[in-house]
């Protein structure tokens, strides 16, 4: 149920075409809520059919011309309702952790190499988030909107910091395991 709310949020921030939305998902919202281009376009159709958004009128309607969308009052009301509603945290599901648990019973071949690969990926993501923080949140940007957006980014930074620290620790532990193999 969150994809329509992610789209409503993005459109309230800036009316956009489907293509512009997919690019924005690739650059920002997708860091914490991913969606394929097809999912975004499908959801735009649903939101329009439900009366939550509308295509902005164009000066010269032309076949194949991209539509830009804006949020209607019903869409804003839905987003406000959803934002105010309580939600329980979801259990964390991570394939790497499950694979580590399985390795305890079937052997560790290949796990160390994948831990190193994951560490590299998380280090890159952390560096990217820190660069975004420097660029987009310099001292003095403290409006309510900026502070809330920065909190979302800080969650990403903190999660990547956790993963880089945990993976480094896991690799240290792994190196001490009897019979640990580097795949």
pTM score, two decimals?
0.80
Ranges of residues in the chain whose predicted pLDDT is under 50? 182-183
Phi-psi region of 92 (alpha: psi -120 to 50; beta: other; left: phi over 0): beta
**Boundaries of every domain in the chain:** 2-84, 95-176
Which tens digits make up the pLDDT trace of 14-62? Answer: 999 989 999 888 888 878 888 888 999 999 999 999 999 999 987 765 5
The secondary element (H helix, E strand) that includes residue 119 is helix 111-136
**Which CATH architecture best describes the domain 2-84?**
Orthogonal Bundle (1.10)
- Cβ neighbours of residue 88 closer than 8 Å, sequence gap 6 or more: none
Phi, psi dihedrals of residue 117, rounded to the nearest 5°: -65, -45
Helix (H, G, I), strand (E, B) or coil at 160: helix
User: Using CA atoms, how far apart are residues 61 and 49, in angstroms rounded to an integer?
Assistant: 20
């Amino acid at each position: 149920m969150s994809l329509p709310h992610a789209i409503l949020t993005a459109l309230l921030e800036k009316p956009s075409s489907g293509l512009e939305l997919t690019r924005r998902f690739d650059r920002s919202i997708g860091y914490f809520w991913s969606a394929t281009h097809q999912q975004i376009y499908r959801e735009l159709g649903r939101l329009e059919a439900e009366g939550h958004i509308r295509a902005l009128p164009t000066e010269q309607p032309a076949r194949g011309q991209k539509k830009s969308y804006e949020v209607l009052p019903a869409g804003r009301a839905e987003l406000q309702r959803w934002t105010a509603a309580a939600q329980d945290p979801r259990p964390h599901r991570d394939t790497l952790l499950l694979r580590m648990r399985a390795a305890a019973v079937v052997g560790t071949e290949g796990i160390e190499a994948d831990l190193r690969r994951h560490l590299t990926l998380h280090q890159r993501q952390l560096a990217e988030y820190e660069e975004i923080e420097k660029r987009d949140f310099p001292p003095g940007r403290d409006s309510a909107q900026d502070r809330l957006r920065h909190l979302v980014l800080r969650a990403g930074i903190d999660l990547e910091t956790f993963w880089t620290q945990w993976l480094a620790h896991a690799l240290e532990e792994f190196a001490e395991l009897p019979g640990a193999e580097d795949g």
